[in-house]
Amino acid sequence: MRAALCALLVVVVFSLAAQPASDVPVPIRIESKVLAETRTILVRTPASYARGARAYPVLYMTDGERQIGHTAAVVDFLASEGRMPEVIIVGINNTDRTRDLTPTKVEAMGGGFATPTSGGGDRFLDFISTEVMPYVEKNYRTAPYRVFAGHSFGGLLAMHTFFTRPTLFNGVIAVSPTLTWDDRYVYRRATEWVKKSDDRPVTLVISVGNEGQELDREFDALKSLLQKRGPKSLEFEAVRFADEDHGSVVLPTHYAGLRKVFEPFRFVLGPPTDDPKKLFARAREHYAKASSRIGFALPIPEATTNQIGYRLLQAGHVQEAIEVFRTNAETFPESANVYDSLGEAQERAGTLDLALASYRRAAAIGKTNGDPNTAVYERNAERLAKR
């Protein structure tokens, strides 16, 4: 649609039957044999899930009931800006947070905070790997790319997972991890890991807020160790958010972390003065390389292809624009917008019968999908029909 040119821009499920798509988190109860208790996970699919047959990477999170709302908004925004693909989000709700998210047994932390149930982290990871993941991968269309995010004790578990279960996740985001746990457990693990780490491509993002000198020292020590001695295949980023506290640091870290984890996904169009005829070939090459690194086929995002098409149209390369828009429609046939853009290019080329068909298809898909721009698509079809 023309606006794209300006932009350039609770049901509880008890069974293990296939679940419906929903961009609202759906609570699902799992009778866990590993944990010997009933656990609830929240599964949130992107809005496009119900309209096609694509597979999606999966983001697994601790503290699901607390973090999934703002994280879903971050994911939607980054995906709309071409910074990451759409993903399925799986948030795991808590029962005994101290038990599940700590890797070792410690009776009490500094300051006298008692942790008598601690040390169940590996059992919790067994629950994720042998019960949650198989359930999600059986009942949803998932791509072979997993990301794990955790905050505080969850960040501690994320670091433990990164060092001890290297093939479980492709990317790990550790938000303000408890680096002081068990006599510098994370740093000790990191020291062991850099001696024997392999060359698998993996991304690790860690963060800290304004949380005191002791945590700052541990953060700086871990950052220095991984930057100096980590393998070349490690994509690593350590971010300090000086204006955030231990709680508020989650949202900016998820934003920065997901950008980093999916950095290969982003394609930079370049200035409008670049030759638009070269853009689509360059985008194809970029996403072929990104697919190779990530391990599954990444299509050129709908918005990116749309922008390339409009650059061609602006420059007067109408037939080239039609081909690009047509490719977008073939890749994303569930989208109304791709057909509206194709119709605009066909109208510019003077093939009014084809343009009218594209506009009508955009309107029909938009009406089915509840697209907010459906009225625009319908007006385009009505306008052209009168001609």
pLDDT band at 82 (very low <50, low <70, confident <90, very high): confident
Question: How far is 357 from 367, CA to CA, in rounded Å?
Answer: 15
pLDDT band at 22 (very low <50, low <70, confident <90, very high): low
Strand order across the beta sheet in which 26-32 lies: 26-32, 37-44, 88-92, 56-61, 142-151, 171-175, 202-208, 234-240
**What pLDDT digit, counting tens, does each position of 217-246 carry?**
999 999 999 999 999 889 999 999 999 999
Q: What is the pLDDT of residue 40?
A: 98
Q: What is the pLDDT of residue 81?
A: 85
Question: pLDDT higher for 76 or 81?
Answer: 76
Domain locations along the chain: 7-265, 276-386
Closest-CA residue to 304 (of 361, 256, 266, 345): 266
Strands 142-151, 171-175: pairing kind: parallel
Which two three-digit tokens encode residue 318? 């109408």
Domain 276-386: state its class: mainly alpha
Q: How many CB atoms lie within 10 A of CB 228?
A: 8
7-265: CATH number: 3.40.50.1820
CB 286 within 8 A of CB 309: no
% of the chain exceeding 70 in pLDDT? 94
Least confidently predicted of 51-55, 92-96, 118-122, 337-341: 51-55
The 3-state DSSP class for residue 12 equals coil
**What pLDDT digit, counting tens, does each position of 174-220 carry?**
999 999 999 999 999 999 999 987 778 889 999 999 999 999 999 99
**What pLDDT digit, counting tens, does each position of 105-148 carry?**
999 987 778 999 999 999 999 999 999 999 999 999 999 999 99
Single pTM value for the model: 0.86
pLDDT band at 4 (very low <50, low <70, confident <90, very high): very low
Please spell the DSSP secondary structure of 45-76, one letter per residue. --GGGGGS---EEEEEESSHHHHHHHHHHHHH
Question: How far is 90 from 119, CA to CA, in rounded Å?
Answer: 23
Q: What is the pLDDT of residue 320?
A: 97
Question: How far is 114 from 354, CA to CA, in rounded Å?
Answer: 71
pLDDT, the chain, mean: 91
pLDDT band at 9 (very low <50, low <70, confident <90, very high): very low
Q: What is the pLDDT of residue 8?
A: 31
Question: How far is 358 from 11, CA to CA, in rounded Å?
Answer: 38
% of the chain exceeding 90 in pLDDT? 78
The 3-state DSSP class for residue 206 equals strand
Q: What is the pLDDT of residue 36?
A: 97
Question: How far is 274 from 269, CA to CA, in rounded Å?
Answer: 9
Inter-CA distances, 19 with 56, 116, 369, Å: 15, 37, 19
Question: How far is 111 from 335, CA to CA, in rounded Å?
Answer: 55
